Structure 1
Amino acid sequence: MKLAQTYGPIYKLWIGQKLCVIISSPALAKEIVRDQDVTFSNRNPNIASRVFSFDGKDIAFAPLGPRWRQLRTILVREMQSEASFDASYLLRRNEVKKSVAIIYGNVGHAIDIGELAFTTVVNIIAGMFWGNVDGRQVAGIDIGTEFRAAAGRLVQNLGRPNVSDFFPILARFDIQGVQKDMKKVMQQVDKIYDIVIDQRIKRGNMGQDEVNDDGKKNLLQFLLEFREHDTGEPISHEQIKALLMDIVIGGTDTTSTTVEWAMAEMMLHPEVMVKAQLELTEVVGLDNEVEETHVKNLPYLHAVVKETLRLHPVAPLLLPRSPTKSCNVSGYAIPKDTKVFLNVWAMHRDPEFWESPLEFKPERFLGDKLDYLGQHLHYLPFGSGRRVCAGLRLGERMVMYLLATLVHMFLWESPDGTMPDTSEKLGVVLEKSNPLLLVPTPRLGSSKFYV
């Protein structure tokens, strides 16, 4: 924000040998995500991202092209349709209820909200996109525990600054060991994926594919069958794994971090918490638990989430774009392969577009048509254009359902009576510097809702 105020809405930085351009203006952002969207739709991934994405075989980091469009279409249309969401609702419900039971078992003790949300979300996403695996122990591996641990390490490594990214001449030395660490964790993840995929193939061969109530299959089954019948260039094993990595890693940390920030802001603004709980009492009732069908009738809680993402966008600079050719943006020459960042953190706090921009005021979104799709260029928490977040609809659904449950089912207080701080730490996402620890008390009268 200070750099934008000092140098204007567009400025360049040399970080080592890498030229970076930072854009902090909605008008200039329009040229990137709309007017020249095709030119700016490629990535320039760093070393950790290349390892994570199986060298750009996923959706997030793959270059624009037919295969990228095909994979994105599968994810958005096949697995994030209303029918798919409805078919997998019981899985999400069961995982959220497990988390409620864990909280209830720790009443009077501090709960790490971010860690709880992360575990809940990774279990939901894994279940939705590759289903249950026969036995918790497979080939000596506890699939759930191992994968959660690996996911946490991947997120940490993706957020580590790496001198080799800024001085490519040093990349072969891997001075900080980032590439080595990433490859080590990816080997662990690769082993888990191989086990899961092999089980799916064996089940398919034996006619034992899992289907949901409406006959829908999970994403892994769909991809394996699509690969078998694809008449064009077949989807590779690595592309399937890379797509699963995008979904699981991209969805867990962003979702859990948003839930944690929303809870922190409501603790700092108890009047907001009260309004959210009153809305939940009216819509859900004190003799009922939250269902996903309630969520669409919670405009104030939706406003809380939107305001949270305004002040604390999970990706404050979004994933960088890189032009495929040298081009011009409002008179500024941008060379080919430059890393171009959209500073949504600054745009979301720009007083030209937001009244009292540093205040947490969910009411600003009530009755407003601002959404997450990137149509309004001063509000871009998930990007815009061809590279808008592919998992947007699933992320919104999980944040709302989990947050509504936490707010409705429990009263919360700080363990030491102090309010949470809002200092930020930038890793792969914009996290709280310190974990949010809160002590729960049951809010509903009957224990049947908690066990």
Structure 2
Amino acid sequence: MSLLTLIVYACITGVAAYVLLNLRTRHAKRLPPGPTPWPIVGNLPHLGTIPHHSLAALATRYGPLMHLRLGFVDVVVVASASVAAQFLKAHDANFASRPPNSGAKHMAYNYQDLVFAPYGPRWRMLRKICSVHLFSAKSLDDFRHVRQEEVAILTRALVGAGKSTVKLGQLLNVCTTNALARVMLGRRVFGDGSGGGDPKADEFKDMVVELMVLAGEFNIGDFIPALDWLDLQGITKKMKKLHVRFDSFLNTILEEHKTGSGAPSGHVDLLSTLISLKDDADGEGGKLSDIEIKALLLNLFAAGTDTSSSTVEWAIAELIRYPELMKQAQQEMDIVVGKDRLVTELDLSQLTFLQAIVKETFRLHPSTPLSLPRIASESCEINGYNIPKGSTLLVNVWAIARDPKMWTDPLEFQPARFLPGGEKPNADVKGNDFEVIPFGAGRRICAGMSLGLRMVQLLTANLVQAFDWELANGLDPRDLNMEEAYGLTLQRAAPLMVHPRPRLALDVYRTR
């Protein structure tokens, strides 16, 4: 059978399935409103190049609960806090699993990871391991010195940059990666941590960004199974190629630990714990395999580094655009911390304006603008509409945080909205207030939320306290490009290129 014949056969099969599907749903219970789907591809053309933007625009026409048909898959999209609470709180158990997708299959070791694992005993085991050994309050406190040491290394690297232009996001990524690696592996993965000209650091950053971009793509094969084998967009090929690179990176780390050439002697880190659990399973999901260990490391490196570094990059970009806010934050630092030492994690609870800056950054620039997809285990009714079994749920976190019905001047960067007297003084970002849920909510809320919050706050605080910032090439802050690049995480379209100017005595940067 020729390739052309196979393609024709696949198209005929698709048309027949599409007609049958529409005949079935014509008499089904009432679905949420949404744009009319095209034949075969459904509403895939409506997603555009930046889906969270396109879906937000559609929500202004069809409402905060929309139904789309992407290929042959029912998809519901949520764009308001009240509707999000219905799904992620009232019906959370029904939407606790992930739908099948090519990213989990080809990059995340065929669903053997924590992020995409089906809800059940194995997922609970992996979640428990992370909660107990990495993200518990005790673990976070025990490794506080690691984060502070890595941030101090970053500040010294920025001081050492002199009048050179630095790509801030790259240095932030090196810092977050090394801080996480020291907890996970007992050692840095990038040189001395400065990241200056380190080709391994550049390659790792590129790998993580590529993973997030590919994971955020709407792969036609996921929605039209008959076309999956054709890989029309070339996404599957890219995923498999990237997986080989990541697997090689993780294999090296795993083998070094097994042979004792990785972490320092006597050091107890997460990977050592995971290796010990291969023979002594923790919880109800059975013993850990090498693949599950690598899949978990992949999750932690990907989700725990780029999300934090990109959020801090957005925060500094906003403060450069609004120098009066930068000055206000620096004044708070000088009063609370002083100018003779660098800010530490123990200071963060007293820095109310800094915390408001971080919350406002999470609101305007959520690291995951479209929530990771969930799937309806059973049919249910929400707001009078039927949500069919097997529907994919997407929560447009970006749109919810810019809802003009919930926020005054929603497109403006205004940290004061989170201060006493502001419109949302008591709002948090930990999944309890659905107006701003950068880490998600419910059972599938980001496992590393507490670590992410601490890292973002500490990094932002140090960069605000320790430096004044100028844009490269004399660019006026009002002309700074704030466009977004689409991926699973919210990257800047143009990296932030800056000149850091130390504002403290030089010996302060050497004291930590």
Same fold, TM-score > 0.5, yes or no = yes
- For residue 439 of structure 1, what is the aligned residue in structure 2? 499
Matched, 1:275 2:355: no
Shift of 1:365: 0.9
CA RMSD in angstroms, aligned pairs only: 2.5
CA contact (8 A) 1:303 1:362 kept: yes
Matched, 1:334 2:387: yes
Q: State the AA in 2 paired with 1:418.
A: D
Residue among 454, 457, 461 paired with 1:404:
461
Secondary structure in 2 matching 1:369 = coil
CA contact (8 A) 1:307 1:360 kept: yes
Which 10-residue stretch deviates more, 261-270 or 373-382?
373-382
Structure 1 pair 61–89 and aligned structure 2 pair: CA distance change class (3 A)? same
Identity of aligned residues (%): 36
Q: Deviations over 1:261-295 (max 9, x none)?
A: 11111111111101111111112211111222222
Structure 1 pair 266–76 and aligned structure 2 pair: CA distance change class (3 A)? same
Shift of 1:14: 2.2
Residue among 43, 63, 75 paired with 1:20:
75
- For residue 476 of structure 2, what is the aligned residue in structure 1? 418
- For residue 246 of structure 1, what is the aligned residue in structure 2? 299
Residue among 262, 265, 270 paired with 1:219:
270
Shift of 1:165: 2.8
- For residue 384 of structure 1, what is the aligned residue in structure 2? 441
- For residue 157 of structure 2, what is the aligned residue in structure 1? 102
- For residue 286 of structure 1, what is the aligned residue in structure 2? 339
Secondary structure in 2 matching 1:228 = coil
Matched, 1:363 2:427: no
In structure 2, how many angstroms separate the alpha carbons of the residues matched to 1:358 and 1:427? 21
Structure 1 pair 413–202 and aligned structure 2 pair: CA distance change class (3 A)? same
Residue among 183, 186, 201 paired with 2:258:
201
Secondary structure in 2 matching 1:227 = coil
CA contact (8 A) 1:60 1:246 kept: yes
In structure 1, how many angstroms separate the alpha carbons of the residues matched to 2:151 and 2:80? 39
Secondary structure in 2 matching 1:357 = coil
CA contact (8 A) 1:323 1:336 kept: yes
Counterparts in 2 of 1:70-85, with a 5 A limit? 70-85=125-140
Matched, 1:256 2:309: yes
Residue among 141, 156, 170 paired with 1:86:
141
Shift of 1:403: 1.1
CA contact (8 A) 1:44 1:322 kept: yes
CA contact (8 A) 1:52 1:245 kept: no
Shift of 1:151: 2.9
Shift of 1:443: 0.6
Secondary structure in 2 matching 1:38 = helix
Q: Deviations over 1:387-442 (max 9, x none)?
A: 11111001011111111111111100122232222222221112222111111111
Structure 1 pair 134–115 and aligned structure 2 pair: CA distance change class (3 A)? closer
Question: What runs of 5+ residues in structure 2 fail to find an aligned partner?
Answer: 1-55, 192-198
Structure 1 pair 133–348 and aligned structure 2 pair: CA distance change class (3 A)? closer
- For residue 214 of structure 1, what is the aligned residue in structure 2? none
CA contact (8 A) 1:147 1:192 kept: no
Structure 1 pair 302–45 and aligned structure 2 pair: CA distance change class (3 A)? farther
Q: State the AA in 2 paired with 1:41.
A: A
Which 10-residue stretch deviates more, 61-70 or 422-431?
422-431
In structure 2, how many angstroms separate the alpha carbons of the residues matched to 1:157 and 1:203? 34
Shift of 1:158: 2.5
In structure 1, how many angstroms separate the alpha carbons of the residues matched to 2:82 and 2:95? 16
Larger C-alpha radius of gyration, 1 or 2?
A: 2
TM-score by length of 1: 0.91
Shift of 1:101: 2.3
Matched, 1:151 2:204: no
CA contact (8 A) 1:104 1:450 kept: no
CA contact (8 A) 1:347 1:378 kept: yes
Structure 1 pair 208–229 and aligned structure 2 pair: CA distance change class (3 A)? farther
Shift of 1:43: 0.9
CA contact (8 A) 2:185 2:263 kept: no
CA contact (8 A) 2:178 2:188 kept: no
CA contact (8 A) 1:295 1:401 kept: yes
Structure 1 pair 157–5 and aligned structure 2 pair: CA distance change class (3 A)? closer
Shift of 1:235: 1.3
Q: Deviations over 1:10-56 (max 9, x none)?
A: 11122333322111122222221111111111111421232222111
Matched, 1:229 2:289: no
Q: State the AA in 2 paired with 1:315.
A: T
In structure 2, how many angstroms separate the alpha carbons of the residues matched to 1:207 and 1:430? 33
Residue among 66, 77, 80 paired with 2:121:
66
Shift of 1:135: 11
Matched, 1:167 2:218: no
CA contact (8 A) 1:143 1:192 kept: no
Which 10-residue stretch deviates more, 4-13 or 157-166?
157-166
Which 10-residue stretch deviates more, 164-173 or 300-309?
164-173
CA contact (8 A) 1:200 1:209 kept: no
In structure 1, how many angstroms separate the alpha carbons of the residues matched to 2:234 and 2:405? 44
Structure 1 pair 208–309 and aligned structure 2 pair: CA distance change class (3 A)? closer
In structure 2, how many angstroms separate the alpha carbons of the residues matched to 1:426 and 1:134? 27
Structure 1 pair 133–294 and aligned structure 2 pair: CA distance change class (3 A)? closer
- For residue 129 of structure 1, what is the aligned residue in structure 2? 184
Secondary structure in 2 matching 1:411 = strand
In structure 2, how many angstroms separate the alpha carbons of the residues matched to 1:357 and 1:210? 51
Q: Which 4+ runs in 1 deviate beyond 6 A?
A: 133-136, 142-145
Shift of 1:250: 0.8
CA contact (8 A) 1:76 1:390 kept: yes
Q: Which has the higher contact order (CA 8 A, sep 6+)?
A: 1
TM-score by length of 2: 0.80
Secondary structure in 2 matching 1:179 = helix
